[in-house]
Amino acid sequence: MGELVAGELYVESWGPPDAPALLYLHGGPGQSSYEFVQHQAALLSARLRVIALDQRGVLRSAALPPDRGLTLADLVADCETVRAHLELESWALLGQSFGGMLALRYATEHPSAVTAVAFENPCWDVDRTCRSLLAALVAHRTAEAHPQAVAAATAMLATDADARALWSLLLEVLVSFGRDRDEIYTPDEDARRTIRDVLASAPFTPDQWGKGAGHLARITEDPGFFTPHTPALQRLTQPALLIKGELDPVPSAGEVLDFARALPAAEVHVFPGAGHFVQAEKPHAYADLVTDFVIRNTTGAVLR
């Protein structure tokens, strides 16, 4: 199923080769597409050609050379490299979390290559996303068990700290919360167990998993990562879908409002009780929604 494209990029393809194509862009940064494939490839590939990419330097893709930087522009270019390799005229995009930022940038820079864009709990503006997450951590039921982290977050939220400072603190607070942070991202206990089981059975070495941290460190050296991306929503010309977990603090309420204002004809679907990984929490309803959206905006047909 998988192959290395251009000797660097690990790509998997599922489903009929003549079906509408959908590129999945994972979050993290550095998470990989492995979990998404386990939760969604079999479901989505019934009607779609699903293409899943481990972004440059992540998991099964080639490690980043020590002297090479990493930018959003590099990741956009990699998408085009994969599209050319697969000889696809166009495809739809599905970006989750950080992948939503990447999907927005790719769709606005290469509009003729993209038929439609679905965003799953996207991070478009790092500053507002960080504030929303920090506020959720401060308010979480386990906050009293992490007093130093909560005090630091509370103090930071009272300032006009920039996106880079907020991001740095968020990473520290998430580490301090340990496993308690999993409830922020995935409120449902059964869904958390499913995700843990998928990761526990994954056939990868610590060195392979560790590449994700290098990807994260390099991409956050790009100033563009911290630049607000919601203004680019006004330049999005393709049909758009926002998939939102009701209980997920990502994206922030302000980012959701910006999406609605910039794209009044776009679709918004909120999954009650879901968190950050709707793909794993509500797999069948998620697959039906994404499949219908992609086919409707690729062929004009609606699945029944």
Q: Taking the domains of the chain in order of start, what are their residue ranges? A: 2-125+186-296
Tokens 């000797």, located at residue: 7
pLDDT at 66: 87
**pTM of this structure:** 0.95
Largest CA-CA distance found in the chain, in angstroms, rounded? 55
Copy the structure tokens of residue 171: 């990473």
* pLDDT grade for 67, boundaries at 50, 70 and 90: confident
Amino acid at 270: V
Q: Which two tokens stand for residue 219?
A: 């991409």
Tokens standing for residue 145: 């068990």
Distance, in Å, from the CA atom of 124 to the CA atom of 114, rounded to the nearest integer, reads 18
Please report the pLDDT score of residue 303 as a whole number: 34
* pLDDT-derived band at 193, boundaries 50, 70, 90: very high
SS3 204: coil
Rounded Cα distance between 271 and 244, Å, is 6
Q: How far is CA 62 from CA 3, 54, 257, in A?
A: 11, 9, 38
Measured between alpha carbons, how far is 239 from 267 in angstroms, rounded to an integer?
8
Burial class (CB in 10 A: 0-12, 13-18, 19+), 132: buried
If one compares 298 and 48, the residue with the highest pLDDT of the two is 48
304 band by pLDDT with thresholds 50, 70 and 90: very low
Residue 97 to residue 276: CA distance in whole angstroms? 8
Question: What is the phi/psi pair of residue 240, to 5°?
Answer: -130, 150
Q: Which pLDDT score is estimated for 275?
A: 97
CATH topology of domain 2-125+186-296: Rossmann fold (3.40.50)
Tokens of 27: 């979050």
Dump pLDDT digits (tens) for 18-40: 999 999 999 999 999 999 999 99
What is the tens place of the pLDDT at every residue in 261-280? 999 999 999 999 999 999 99
DSSP 215: H
Measured distance CA(292)–CA(160) in Å, rounded: 42
Q: Which two tokens stand for residue 217?
A: 């460190």
Strand-pairing partners, residue 114, are 91
Per-residue pLDDT at 118: 98
Lowest mean pLDDT among 64-68, 152-156, 220-224: 64-68
Average pLDDT score over the chain: 95
Question: What is the strand order of the sheet 114-120 is part of?
Answer: 2-5, 9-14, 49-54, 21-25, 91-96, 114-120, 240-245, 267-271
Residues pairing with 243 in the sheet:
120, 269
- The span from the CA of 63 to the CA of 208, in Å, is 9
What gap in Å lies between CA 53 and CA 3, rounded to an integer? 10
Mean pLDDT of 233-250: 97
Range 158-185 average pLDDT: 96
Is the Cβ–Cβ distance between 249 and 135 less than 8 Å? Answer: yes
Amino acid symbol at 224: G
- 3-state secondary structure labels for all residues of 57-89: CCCCCCCCCCCCCCCHHHHHHHHHHHHHHHCCC
- Give the confidence band of 68 by pLDDT, cuts at 50, 70, 90: confident
Q: How far apart are CA 275 and CA 45, in angstroms?
A: 24
Q: What is the mean pLDDT of residues 144-163?
A: 96
Q: Do 60 and 54 contact (CB within 8 A), yes or no? A: yes
Mean pLDDT of 73-89: 97
Tens-place pLDDT, residues 287-303: 999 999 999 998 644 33
